[in-house]
Structure 1
Amino acid sequence: MTSLNAWNLRASRLLLGCSALAVFAAGNANAQTAAPASTDGGASAATPADAIVVTGVRASLQSAQNIKRNSSQIVDSIVAEDIGKLPDRNIAESLQRISGIQIQRQYGEGSSVQIRGLTQVRTELNGRDIFTASAAGEGTSPAGTFSLEDMPSELLAGIDVYKNPSSDLIEDQLSGTINLRTRKPFDFNGFKIAASVGNTYYDLVKKSKPSASLLVSDRWDTGIGEIGVLVSASYQRTAFRQDTISTEPFNTLDTSLKSDGTPNNPADYAAASTLGRLDQTTTLAHGTGIGEVYGDRRRFGLDASVQWKPTDTLELTGEVFRNDYKFRFDDYSYFAEPAGAQMSPEPGAAFTFAPNGDVISGTYNNIALAANTSLETRHSRTTDYSLNAKWKPTDRLTITADGQYVDAKTQDVRSIIGLNGVGDGTLVQDISGSTPAFSITTPEGVTNPASYNAGFYLDDLNHARAKDKAVRLDAEYKFDGLLQSIKAGFRYADRSNVFSDTGYRYVGLATAPTDTEVVDLGDFFHGDASIPSEGLFFSRNTTLSYSDTLASLGISSPATYLPSGTSTQSQKTYAGYVAAFFKADQLPVPIDGNVGVRFVRTQQAVTGYYQQTDLITASDGSQSTGATTSSLVDFANSYNSWLPSLNLRAHLTDKLQLRFAASKNISRPSLSQLNPALTITEPGKAQINQEHDTTGGNPYLKPMKSTNLDVSAEWYFSRTGSLTAAGFYKDIKNYIQTGISARDVTFSDGVTATYNVTSYSNAADAKVKGFELSYQQFFDFLPGALKGLGLQANFTYVDSKAPSPATEGPVHDVSLEGLSKYNYNIVGIYERGKISARLAYNWRSQFLVTTSGNGSGNLPVFEKPFGQMDASITFNVTPHFALTLNGVNLLNTMTSTYYGIKTRPRDAIVNDRQISGVAKITF
């Protein structure tokens, strides 16, 4: 723990030093005077004579608060009032600061979000569709949406999160809509340029990576009207390392006897007999191992928009948005597993067990080493073309026409080389602590190539191409009196996805590869884990090149795409809506709101193949991929949906308002969830005792339907001060959950293997309820330099219940996947003079990772509670130049998962801490 404590001490000193610098600088800088609160609670601007220019964090919070307050429905926002200055550089991590939102992290970065406990989130770009083409690789979850980790946040002006639907919003979400807003040239009064450069250090992988962004915008009065042009670009490189200690799936020993007195399961009976536990329930882990993952991300985003206002009544906007994302990870994984079907306890060795019979520590013989080196790459590109026309022929009538075309592509490569041990090793394992510990020995020595007698190679190539064409027409007519306006519109969208997959190709290696290296594992978990200090692996330098890997193993060509490996999915929607907006301000308690209904017709069609590949065994015992057989699955479906909505707001005072909302909504199964394709490859001799997994969709899935009730109370006591509380309830029909079923597959050579098939089903009804509390304020009443102190805090409680796919065992009902019952954020802010600083802590309680984990005995997999601390400090050297220092994961948080029961640990994971410096200039 010495290095960890030293790092934390340095980090603490850094934060204390930043705080001291902030107070000192603020006390000596020109004080930023707060504008006086207006009678409407701070929503209106100061009069020109009293105008105060508010910038930085305070301005961003003020803008976000005004959006929330003045919206006709329940919405939360994040606003980058200063260009390129969202609170976090990753979009998902920015969203976690909003009440009701929880995020999932992947390799140290936020990658996906849940709103009020549900993952069925709609992502939009400027109110239109945006998505990542679905492939089988990393980072594209939840399927059918935009992968939030792909986009650099510098391209955005803000993010709006709509938590309840209204009839004019596009359907297809249960939890909410995330709208990513880019900047437009008419957002600025004239010429604008902003640029930033930065560098980030990642302490576990010990690398630094650069970033840069540029925005240029201008507008002109011409003979044909006013024209504006904006171009914005962002480039980011990141690195990461993730260390994982895994405990292999648990199974309870079967000590039952046949009628003739012989064991039903000889291996299980022998293990229990050695342990002296034939008359006791005993559950053993199936081994242990580690994973050391290295990787990097490259993000490049480009946004170009042109606005033209030929007359005072007509405005046209054209925009091209392109996001290009590359992701790579390669890893060493090192496992100790039984040479046979069951772990072999060492006779006479000390073992400890939990009261329920789950093993805690012990020693095992006949252990086979398994050392894998692998590579995965993903390249995703999404290009969005849009054209919008807004026409106001009269003061009362506004007509808006909008067209969009999205072209998204994803390519994925997976390559795995495995070394298989001779099976003469000894494993000492202890899972009693928060960090599992183990050691492995073999007579030959674990780094001696003689410890391995065989190997295998697996590769899989896939790519996806998704397209979307959408047009919509909206009209709004305004009235005087109780009825303020009528809004109506129509939208047509046509989305398609083509997915091609080679399926995993298996090549058995009669001898272990010779292109190997000894890897030092001494700094694993920052040196704070008790694991083997080194291991022998296939060369990582070779693995980093797919072609070099094939050449090293003597494989002549890449995996082959077959016609049966391609599946197609299409979806057409026709939607129309009408909404009435009203305002009764003469009542003792003024009320306004809207009521409407949306009608949607959905047409879906999917095709895919069940594909099975056998192996060929040569005379020398080597194995290779053989014939593939396939059968087509073709399915089409259509359905209609009526989606009413009501939003009411009561103005109790100028600063206090109440909201009530009721609505119905649907969330369609994603195109990848409907994909009927399923690929199964026969396992080789080296894998026959291992776990076999595959994944396929379900073309018969129904759309999920929710009935939603929302209430909120909002008190806006200053321009940047508010206290809000919200309650919500969702009743969901046909909820889609992940399930795993066992399927026995017999191949042409007579080999039978059991596959755990992960797929989707419409589980019984699910219910979600909870409440949110949110508070923000700057403490302007404090004296002197302390006036710059502020606080943001929110708390979310979400309770949900859905049936587990498991039909037996100790766990029957579970929460919804990805949902923590409790979640809170605390952000300390300092904003005064030239200093802007934040210290943020995010915590979430235990949550369900999956309802049925592979190899878990059909038990759900849970992640334990954890929190993460991030910080940033900005020094505004001049009004046009600023320097920022950011810190992420300062507490070196370790996350842990377990198989259904806390005595059955699964993974313990640590990621990089990050320190970055950014210089920014704006004119």
Structure 2
Amino acid sequence: MKRLAFMLSVAPMALFAMPVAAQTTTAAVDTPTVTAETSAVTEVVVTGLRQSLRSAQMIKRNSDAILDAVVAEDIGKLPDNTAAETLARIAGIQVERFSDEANRVLIRGLPDVATTYNGREIFTAELRRVQLQDFPAQALAGIEVYKSGTADIVEPGLAGLINVRTRRPLDFKGGFIGGGVRLTYNDQTKKRDPNGNILVSDRWDTAIGEIGVLANATYAQSQYRNGVRYNNQWIRQVSPASSVSPASAGNSFYYPNSVGLYNDGGKRFRPSGNVAVQWRPNDKLEVYFDGIFQGYRGRQATDNLDVNLRDWDSAVQQDPTLTNVTLVPGATDQAAGFTKTGGVAPQAYRSTGADHTNTYQGALGAVWRGERLTLSTDLAYEDSEYEARNWSLDSAFTSAPTVVVKFNEKDGAAFDLTGFDAANPANYYWRGYYERHYIAKGDGVQWRGDAVYDTGSSFIPQIKFGLRYTDRDASLIQGSRYAWVLPLKIALSSLPVGQLQMVEDPFRGNSQGFTQYLMPTREGIAANFTALQQRSVAALQQLVALNPADQGYKDTLKAFSSPDVPLDQGGAFSATEQSYAEYAQAKYAFDVGAIAFDGVVGVRVVQTLGEYSGVSRVAANGVTTLIPRTIKQNYTDVLPNISLRIRPADKVQLRLGYTQTRTRVDFGALNPALNVSQVVRDPNQPVDPNAPAQPNAYGSGGNPDLVPLTSNNYDASAEYYFSSTGSITIAGFYRDLFGFTSNYTRRVQDPVYGLIEISRPENSGAGKIKGFEINAQTFLDFLPDAFKGFGVQGNVTYIDGKNQFPKTLGGDAPYVRITGLSKWTYNAALFYERNGVTARISYNHRSPWVTDYRQATDGSQYTGVGVRAISRLDASLSYDLSKSLTVSFDVANLLAKPFENYNNYQPNRTYPVDVRYEGRYYGVGMRFRFGE
């Protein structure tokens, strides 16, 4: 078999070493920096898919923690663009996708995932984590998924911890240059995007010791356009004033308030880079520097058309007329479709946006290795900012066309606007103009010091202890303004936005009849926002003159009088937080007869001190008052861990483990500020003493009383390693947890406002998650020689997770299925590697999950919105032209099955919500490497 060269390209570099204790992979190149936070690390050179599977299997087998690893060839041989996409192939992990990429990662059904970069905490702006889709696959050396923690690593989240790794120069034997280029094509946008990276590394023996320098730069780009046809989730009864035919349909049926199209599109590109410097003055001491820049740039153009089916048009005093009404078979109160004339005209918008993230992290550290004692330290600083601007232009049809609609055509809404000339500019009014400015920032310092002592004892061979300190700042402020100008009936074509064009048609098949209408281009809006501001001011001045008593128009005119969007102190927040951690952990080992036992026992103690500030906005009697609020928190977490590994035979091992974890609440959720609108009642209006009490105010905001999410975690596994690349593992897990945060609405007695109905995040009650994972992989070496290059890999995960609604909502706090959790996830891959050819086809399936719940009239909870099962198929092929050059082809989302969800507006009464069509991505690339 031709040796497959390990490369940097669209495929990232190999995952050589995992930061876990007791790893004993065979070293083939120099050992990189070792720290107690990341434990001892060694390396293997990855020269092909077979070797990468061997390396990942060895990492899992020798780890003290419950984890899974992905090596470079696993990422490179799969058509993955980001770290989040790759994670979807690991047992126990589920992802949610939007805008043609994975953007939410769950580990064993839990979303609260901590993220680290080379063992250090990393975050984005005001968040506590980094967005894993912001890590281009070609920038990574590897990914580690900790499903349970140990005391010597940064505290995992409730779900676990994901660590991404990059290379260091002393990992190479000498000078090295590698990289690659890749071109992708999206069959939905019909556009092509470049991707690529280059890494340069070298090392030298000098008079002051060995020195190595590495630099890596990456660029990833994609253009996307997802088409959605939808039913509005607001289900309404037919208007009593509407004419309905045939008469047999009755006049009491229900249907969605509107149907529509939502086309999410845009361009995103991610420049990133990292540098590493190592200095080894002697065999005992190493000093290093790590630096990373992670960037994101987005240019959005999202279209929405909403076709109202229910409301009364006050301008012409007309209720919609419904003809050809059909009912859902077996139902007398649920419409399947009809023809609608009259009523409210359709409305549309094109929302354009530009946003960016800039994240910088630099770290300086040192390691000293004695005969038995290893000391290490690491000091890092990070700064991150996210900024977004939006410019949205709204339109409305000049009249209501005839709408022919079916509410469940191929699992979704389908409609046509008969007789409507969509290409005629005279059929569109300007409805309004919206602007938004959003700024979030965060920075932080983190330091740690660790010691690892090899005792020489066979029973307790190693002891670890260390300290860690962090200091975080986070802030957010935003502002928006909207000019509603529809009453002036201004032609859309008269605006300073250039030529109107038909929006793109992103739909597959012919289920949806009406797909295109006129709108300005993205640049026509985003590049002319100053002219649109001026045009909005002129229109608002007209409206103020026509409505001199309307304060709302006056306030809007004032908001548009400034050249930029005024930032609103109401709703802004800031936070400062310090944490102090100390840990101690010991490794133990003993034999009972021929059976070997070992494991670790440890505890991590973390104290958190935080101060969180915001500005409440209170509106009453036409006057808005801003009230600053600040709260403080001070709490300590004690997080023990204990694990046991039993090895009855060389190829078999059993594991048992217990850990405690906790996840701090996001800064934004802790914002103590409220937005409150007090109700003004007519004092002359009599009060019905028998009527339920009505709120004196309505409000929304954060919740400073939220507590961290906590969990007791129990793990067990049986692992059989029958060859260097073949294994079967079975793992079971149970989580006893508390404190999910979700938004809920409830009524409370406030000392200032009295009875207030408030929507804010609350801690849920207790929760329980149980499940199992089965994982298997092997090359089929028992086949005849011509087929020995084939291999298989697969896993299945079952998760049953429930949690209680918050007790603060009253009632018995019933258990319901955890939102976002699929019971079943499958991954299967067939691969081939021989004579320079590497091919792989991979299948992923995720079973249905629940998005949110609703409350029935009897107080019970039922699924409000759920998501149907989804499957993906990806394939890749590469060939080594030489030891230094490889060409590749891949396709992602080959099945292109649409995303579908549904709305239970009442128990046993369901309508589809979205049918979302996503793109297939085809890629061709070339990878190169020179040096060792």
TM-score category of the 2 structures, normalised to the smaller one:
0.7 to 0.9
CA shift, 1:921, in A, is: 0.7
- Equivalent residue in structure 1 for 2:645, among 633, 646, 649: 649
SS at 1:817's partner residue? coil
CA shift, 1:633, in A, is: 2.8
Q: Using a 3 Å threshold, how does the CA distance of structure 1 residues 733 and 354 change in structure 2: closer, same or farther? A: farther
Q: Given that residues 330 and 544 in structure 1 are in contact (C-alpha distance below 8 angstroms), is that contact kept between their aligned partners in structure 2?
A: no
Answer yes or no: is 1:108 the counterpart of 2:104: no
Q: Given that residues 405 and 467 in structure 1 are in contact (C-alpha distance below 8 angstroms), is that contact kept between their aligned partners in structure 2?
A: yes
SS at 1:367's partner residue? coil
Q: Given that residues 797 and 822 in structure 1 are in contact (C-alpha distance below 8 angstroms), is that contact kept between their aligned partners in structure 2?
A: yes
* Alignment-derived partner of residue 919 in structure 2: 912
Q: Given that residues 411 and 912 in structure 2 are in contact (C-alpha distance below 8 angstroms), is that contact kept between their aligned partners in structure 1?
A: no
- CA distance in 2 between counterparts of 1:321 and 1:816 reads 36
* Alignment-derived partner of residue 487 in structure 1: 464
- Equivalent residue in structure 2 for 1:191, among 157, 162, 175: 175
Counterpart amino acid of residue 489 in structure 2: T
Q: Using a 3 Å threshold, how does the CA distance of structure 1 residues 780 and 740 change in structure 2: closer, same or farther? A: farther
- CA distance in 1 between counterparts of 2:45 and 2:739 reads 52
Q: Using a 3 Å threshold, how does the CA distance of structure 1 residues 85 and 532 change in structure 2: closer, same or farther? A: closer
Q: Using a 3 Å threshold, how does the CA distance of structure 1 residues 185 and 695 change in structure 2: closer, same or farther? A: farther
Counterpart amino acid of residue 328 in structure 1: R
- CA distance in 1 between counterparts of 2:274 and 2:620 reads 48
* Alignment-derived partner of residue 526 in structure 1: 508
* Percent of aligned pairs with the same amino acid: 33
* Alignment-derived partner of residue 3 in structure 1: none
> Matches of residues 192-341 of structure 1 in structure 2 within 5 Å?
192-253=176-237, 268-270=239-241, 282-338=253-309, 340=311
Counterpart amino acid of residue 141 in structure 2: A
- CA distance in 2 between counterparts of 1:868 and 1:519 reads 34
Counterpart amino acid of residue 656 in structure 1: V
Counterpart amino acid of residue 150 in structure 1: D
Q: Given that residues 402 and 419 in structure 2 are in contact (C-alpha distance below 8 angstroms), is that contact kept between their aligned partners in structure 1?
A: no
Answer yes or no: is 1:372 the counterpart of 2:352: no
> Matches of residues 697-716 of structure 1 in structure 2 within 5 Å?
697-716=702-721
> Matches of residues 388-787 of structure 1 in structure 2 within 5 Å?
388-392=365-369, 394-421=370-397, 424-441=400-417, 445-449=421-425, 451-453=427-429, 455-479=431-455, 480-509=457-486, 510-512=488-490, 513=492, 514-515=494-495, 519-520=501-502, 523-545=505-527, 547=529, 550-551=532-533, 553-555=535-537, 557-564=563-570, 566-585=572-591, 587-611=593-617, 629-677=625-673, 696-739=701-744, 759-787=760-788
Counterpart amino acid of residue 917 in structure 1: V
CA shift, 1:371, in A, is: 1.3
Q: Using a 3 Å threshold, how does the CA distance of structure 1 residues 663 and 276 change in structure 2: closer, same or farther? A: farther
- CA distance in 2 between counterparts of 1:220 and 1:764 reads 58
Q: Given that residues 79 and 875 in structure 2 are in contact (C-alpha distance below 8 angstroms), is that contact kept between their aligned partners in structure 1?
A: no
CA shift, 1:719, in A, is: 1.0
**1:773-804 CA distance string (max 9 Å, x none):** 00010011211321110011000000111246
- CA distance in 1 between counterparts of 2:258 and 2:74 reads 52
- CA distance in 1 between counterparts of 2:674 and 2:478 reads 10
Q: How many residues align?
A: 827
* Alignment-derived partner of residue 8 in structure 2: none
* Alignment-derived partner of residue 67 in structure 2: 75
- CA distance in 1 between counterparts of 2:118 and 2:422 reads 56
**1:751-777 CA distance string (max 9 Å, x none):** xxxx99864210111111100000010
Q: Using a 3 Å threshold, how does the CA distance of structure 1 residues 756 and 77 change in structure 2: closer, same or farther? A: farther
CA shift, 1:482, in A, is: 0.2
- CA distance in 1 between counterparts of 2:300 and 2:900 reads 21
TM-score, length-scaled by structure 1: 0.83
More displaced, 85-94 or 837-846?
Answer: 85-94
Answer yes or no: is 1:358 the counterpart of 2:334: yes
- Equivalent residue in structure 1 for 2:837, among 835, 838, 841: 835
- CA distance in 2 between counterparts of 1:47 and 1:220 reads 19
Q: Given that residues 730 and 772 in structure 2 are in contact (C-alpha distance below 8 angstroms), is that contact kept between their aligned partners in structure 1?
A: yes
- CA distance in 2 between counterparts of 1:460 and 1:757 reads 25
Q: Using a 3 Å threshold, how does the CA distance of structure 1 residues 840 and 742 change in structure 2: closer, same or farther? A: farther
Contiguous gaps of at least 5 residues in structure 1: 1-25, 33-41, 135-142, 254-266, 616-625, 683-692, 744-754
- Equivalent residue in structure 1 for 2:897, among 869, 890, 893: 893
Q: Using a 3 Å threshold, how does the CA distance of structure 1 residues 677 and 204 change in structure 2: closer, same or farther? A: farther
More displaced, 526-535 or 488-497?
Answer: 526-535
Counterpart amino acid of residue 722 in structure 1: S
Answer yes or no: is 1:161 the counterpart of 2:138: no
**1:16-73 CA distance string (max 9 Å, x none):** xxxxxxxxxx8xx7999xxxxxxxxx9865999xxx9862211211111111111111
**1:832-881 CA distance string (max 9 Å, x none):** 1110111011000011234579xxx9963221101011111110111110
Q: Using a 3 Å threshold, how does the CA distance of structure 1 residues 567 and 47 change in structure 2: closer, same or farther? A: closer
- CA distance in 1 between counterparts of 2:835 and 2:854 reads 53
- CA distance in 2 between counterparts of 1:835 and 1:740 reads 58
CA shift, 1:275, in A, is: 7.9
- CA distance in 2 between counterparts of 1:383 and 1:398 reads 29
Q: Using a 3 Å threshold, how does the CA distance of structure 1 residues 277 and 403 change in structure 2: closer, same or farther? A: farther
CA shift, 1:398, in A, is: 0.9
More displaced, 649-658 or 274-283?
Answer: 274-283
**1:498-556 CA distance string (max 9 Å, x none):** 11111444444533433376654684313533231432334443123363563573456
Counterpart amino acid of residue 537 in structure 1: M
CA shift, 1:670, in A, is: 1.0
Q: Using a 3 Å threshold, how does the CA distance of structure 1 residues 694 and 525 change in structure 2: closer, same or farther? A: farther
Q: Using a 3 Å threshold, how does the CA distance of structure 1 residues 245 and 767 change in structure 2: closer, same or farther? A: same
> Matches of residues 801-816 of structure 1 in structure 2 within 5 Å?
801-803=802-804, 814-816=816-818
CA shift, 1:449, in A, is: 4.8
SS at 1:526's partner residue? coil
Q: Using a 3 Å threshold, how does the CA distance of structure 1 residues 453 and 914 change in structure 2: closer, same or farther? A: closer
Q: Given that residues 201 and 209 in structure 1 are in contact (C-alpha distance below 8 angstroms), is that contact kept between their aligned partners in structure 2?
A: yes
Q: Given that residues 344 and 364 in structure 1 are in contact (C-alpha distance below 8 angstroms), is that contact kept between their aligned partners in structure 2?
A: no
CA shift, 1:564, in A, is: 3.8
Counterpart amino acid of residue 803 in structure 2: A
Answer yes or no: is 1:59 the counterpart of 2:54: no
**1:577-597 CA distance string (max 9 Å, x none):** 111111113543211100111
Counterpart amino acid of residue 861 in structure 1: V
Contiguous gaps of at least 5 residues in structure 2: 6-22, 30-43, 538-560, 679-697, 749-755, 856-860
Counterpart amino acid of residue 881 in structure 2: V
- CA distance in 1 between counterparts of 2:574 and 2:246 reads 53
| Cα RMSD for the two superposed structures | 3.4
- CA distance in 1 between counterparts of 2:462 and 2:4 reads 45
SS at 1:228's partner residue? strand
**1:442-479 CA distance string (max 9 Å, x none):** 88755545544551122110111101111111111111
- CA distance in 2 between counterparts of 1:185 and 1:167 reads 29
Q: Given that residues 518 and 535 in structure 1 are in contact (C-alpha distance below 8 angstroms), is that contact kept between their aligned partners in structure 2?
A: no
Q: Using a 3 Å threshold, how does the CA distance of structure 1 residues 403 and 522 change in structure 2: closer, same or farther? A: closer
Q: Using a 3 Å threshold, how does the CA distance of structure 1 residues 836 and 445 change in structure 2: closer, same or farther? A: closer
**1:310-331 CA distance string (max 9 Å, x none):** 1211111111111111012102
